Structure 1
Amino acid sequence: MAVDGGHGGGNHPLRWTSPMSGFMLRRFVELIAGGVKTEKGFKEVHLNQVAKNCSEHFGLSIIGTQVYNHLRKWRARWVKISKLWDISGSLWDDNNYVISLEEENYLGHIKDHPKDVEYLNVPLENYVQMLAIFGSGIATEGMQ
């Protein structure tokens, strides 16, 4: 497979869309549900399998390294979300997967941490999949 990310020539980085991310994460959840052991991260064979699934589904050329790097991005999001749960005064909405802060706390936090705006007071994209993959410390050791 070419490393062009399906862009047709050249060495362009793969741009993961929201549907592509969701599809990829669901494939990893299926692997875990099927009994794949992930205490030391996902093995190369699993990364390549998910890359093949994504390639076939989206008609792109995706390789295991791209899947690995994208999974690392989602792990970093999980780590960030885990830290945000610990903010004083934060509330968790288990129905909508939202970490919320009262307006005054939210404004103060966002002023100091502007990048956290995508994680607070909004539904967390792919939360259920992240929980299944990273929630109990699985699939994280080999990811660093």
Structure 2
Amino acid sequence: MDSNSSKGVSTHASWTSAISSFMLSHLANVVAGGTRTSSGFKAVHLNACARAINERFNSTLTGEQIKNHLKTWQRKFTKKNRLRKVSSASWDEKKFIITLDDEHYNGYIE
């Protein structure tokens, strides 16, 4: 998770599930605290999140990396939500996954 901003080079961040979870919780707490985010998180919130992660996990993330990772989570959520709404989709309570029969699954991934 190194970033070499003096040379304008940023390396790809390694996101563990613990760091992702911390990021999502931190940003959820910003919203729970009354901050309006209808137009997205402001740089000040993303930078504060990066600082909190860096302190907790001894990393060097930037606010921009937080923003990009949040976009990744938003894309994943959108895809899962769209799949969940497929009429033949069901929920497996034991595995916590969305399931489809073979016919619908093959049609969906094509």
Q: Same fold (TM over 0.5)?
A: yes
2:38 aligned residue: 39
Structure 2: which 5+ runs fail to align? none
1:14 aligned residue: 13
Structure 1: which 5+ runs fail to align? 5-9, 115-144
Q: Which of the two has greater strand per residue?
A: 2
Identity of aligned residues (%): 34
Instruction: Indicate if the aligned counterparts of 2:46 and 2:64 stay in contact, CA closer than 8 A.
Output: yes
Matched, 1:76 2:71: no
**1:39-70 deviation per Cα after TM superposition (whole angstroms, max 9, x unaligned):** 11111100001011111111011110000000
- Structure 1 letter corresponding to 2:52: N
How large is the Cα RMSD of the aligned pairs? 2.3
Matched, 1:67 2:66: yes
In the alignment, the residues of structure 1 paired with residue 48 and residue 83 of structure 2 have an alpha-carbon distance, to the nearest angstrom, of 33
Per the TM alignment, residue 12 of structure 1 is displaced from its structure 2 partner at its CA by 2.4
Instruction: Indicate if the aligned counterparts of 2:88 and 2:104 stay in contact, CA closer than 8 A.
Output: no
Per the TM alignment, residue 3 of structure 1 is displaced from its structure 2 partner at its CA by 1.9
Find runs of 4+ consecutive structure 1 residues off by over 4 angstroms. 93-97
Taking a change above 3 Å as real, the CA distance of residues 111 and 94 of structure 1, as seen in their structure-2 partners, is: closer
> SS of 1:99's equivalent?
strand
Aligned residues, how many? Answer: 104
Per the TM alignment, residue 97 of structure 1 is displaced from its structure 2 partner at its CA by 4.7
In the alignment, the residues of structure 1 paired with residue 104 and residue 18 of structure 2 have an alpha-carbon distance, to the nearest angstrom, of 30
1:138 aligned residue: none
| Higher-RCO chain (CA-CA 8 Å, sequence separation at least 6) | 1
> SS of 1:20's equivalent?
helix
In the alignment, the residues of structure 2 paired with residue 64 and residue 91 of structure 1 have an alpha-carbon distance, to the nearest angstrom, of 37
Structure showing greater radius of gyration is 2
In the alignment, the residues of structure 1 paired with residue 48 and residue 10 of structure 2 have an alpha-carbon distance, to the nearest angstrom, of 22
Q: Which of the two has greater helix per residue?
A: 2
1:3 aligned residue: 3
